[in-house]
Amino acid sequence: MQPFADRRALLSARMQQAGGGVAVLLTAPEVPRNRDSHYPYRWDSYFYYLSGFAEPEAALVLVATEQPRSILFCRSKDAEREIWDGFRIGPQAAAERFGFDAAYPFDALDEELPRLLADQPAIYYAMGSDSALDGRIRVWLDAVRAQARAGVSAPARAFDVRALLDEMRLIKDASEVALMQRAASISARAHVRAMRATRPGRREYQIEAELLHEFRAAGSQYPAYSSIVAGGANACVLHYRDNAAELRDGQLLLIDAGCELDGYASDITRTFPVNGRFSGPQRALYDVVLAAQRAAIEATRSGATFIAPHEAAVRVLAQGMVDLELLAGSVDGLIESGAYRRFYMHRTGHWLGMDVHDCGEYREPGAAAAGDGERPWRVLRPGMVLTVEPGIYVRAADDVPAEFHDIGIRIEDDAVVTEGEARIITADVPKAPDDIEALMRS
């Protein structure tokens, strides 16, 4: 529990630097799937980041004073409900096991919050994230203001606690990186399993089942996101979801899938031939994307900007589009005009962490706008984790060489920024064409 306690202490310290106050974070609610059935429960990332507490109906309150306190509100012990729904840790055991200064029943939240907010200068919460929470905050503040004649004052300022937490979560500590490496290793084994299971005549969902089997068998609790298993032209749909088509000889299969382990995501994409051998045109396009990814990984370094890997990848991709006669013109002209976006329409990466598209600004917070009216891009620092995922997506069209029709290729890895070269934690999945073909032959 020490990393969670350290994060609570750091948040309290940053709140004190701004004058102190009280932070209130509620976990996610349970969500019904249909009658008398719920979706598998997944807590709120901000709440869990500070608490390590996984039960629903819970709240964390941090009182940032010279002697900061952390208080948990959680479900009371209930023998009857535990028969139906499972074990509840209860407030007393939660305080002891998770290192909180105090713990109360969740039902006491509305009674205790006005007391905790009394005479505090500010309140921190996820502003605007949930209308029900916004309403409860107003009720608590009104209850404090009602004591004005007794000399009690309500917080005069309100801040979005996520602004502080986003900056904290953006830099992963050693325990987080180790956990993300474990998640990445599980996902890598799943991708290898899927490659070995792929052959003409199987359906996309059968390959998805291979991924899910490996995720769960290795201890992952959930997929980090809905897996994309896209054969042939389906790979040109960036967020393809059906996963139902038959895989045919001569097609490529794009798999974008990763597991979540103890709250941390992994994110891998590989593209490979259904029959185990790349055709000439497939190999030509694949080599361009692989070269673009290598250039982007080389640009993923401490001190570089977040956009640098994307710019490196785009230059290689644009050159490849010219060489393969997908586009005509100069590389600089295609980049300046944005014409390359016909075949490559997304960024080369995103932050990765507790959420697969993790929190944190991509431009420097608080920096002055440049001449173009936009703030400068974020500078990469050790401990940041991001994906590197260039691609090419060629839909059938009269002005496109027929041999490239309906080919979609993406190659994605997870990179940890270090003082030197980026550490690729998903490197256990082959991506060189010869290595892919050798694996599928085996």
Annotated catalytic residues are 36, 239, 256, 267, 346, 350, 357, 389, 393, 410, 412
Which residue shows structure tokens 């259904």?
Answer: 274
Residues belonging to the chain: 442
What is the rounded CA–CA span in Å between residue 156 and residue 122?
A: 6
**DSSP collapsed to 3 states, the chain:** CHHHHHHHHHHHHHHHHCCCEEEEEECCCCCEEECCEECCCCCCHHHHHHHCCCCCCCEEEEEECCCCEEEEEECCCCHHHHHHHCCCCCHHHHHHHHCCCEEEEHHHHHHHHHHHHCCCCEEEECCCCCHHHHHHHHHHHHHHHCCHHHCCCCCCEEEEHHHHHHHHHHCCCHHHHHHHHHHHHHHHHHHHHHHHHCCCCCEHHHHHHHHHHHHHHCCCCEECCCCEEEEHHHHHCCCCCCCCCECCCCCEEEEEECEEECCEECCEEEEEECCCCCCHHHHHHHHHHHHHHHHHHHCCCCCCECCHHHHHHHHHHHHHHHHCCCCCCCHHHHHHHCHHHHCCCCCCCCECCCCCCCCCCCECCCCCCCCCCCCCECECCCCCEEEECCEEEECCCCCCCHHHCCEEEECEEEEECCCCCCEECCCCCCCCHHHHHHHHHC
Q: Contact 375/363 with Cβ under 8 angstroms?
A: yes
In whole angstroms, what is the distance from residue 370 CA to residue 357 CA?
26
